[in-house]
Amino acid sequence: MIAVLQRVREARVEVGGEVIGAIGPGLLMLICAEPADTVATAEKLIAKVLKLRIFSDAAGKMNRSLQDVGGGLLIVSQFTLAADVSAGNRPSFTGAAPAEAGRRLYEHTLAFARQQHPVVASGEFGADMQVHLVNDGPVTIPMRMA
């Protein structure tokens, strides 16, 4: 799975002008399933994200996790993270999992995250979404979990 984490002061996702998911301070996580990804891959990704020490401690060092600070987690599917721009000027998205496999992994990722963390919001798989965020830092971390 490919993920991009953004530490935020707040974030929300809208579909058709309606807010469908929102958090205060925490992490916005954009994710893309790849063809070889499994449920185990998704669970490994969430376990890592929840424990990743990217929030400041009292000394101002990135030493606290999302779980330590009790922040929110907004998970948004984004197949364009698998874009291949090596040939031509139009990106290829063949590196993304097929739509139904991607949907299943996205839904499992959400369910697992909600079992592990109390504040989880989401986007809508396959929808045209508008994502609004106030990046904190800015701290943006790309990840690939196999």
- Active-site residue set: 78-80
| C-beta of residue 27 within 8 angstroms of C-beta of residue 138 | no
How far is Cα 8 from Cα 134, in angstroms, rounded to an integer? 5
End-to-end CA gap in the chain: 6
State yes or no: cis peptide before 138, omega within 30 of 0.
yes
Helix (H, G, I), strand (E, B), or coil: what is residue 59? Answer: coil
Q: Provide the token pair at 27.
A: 């992490």
| C-beta of residue 86 within 8 angstroms of C-beta of residue 94 | no
**CA dist list (Å): 137 to 6, 51, 141:** 9, 19, 12
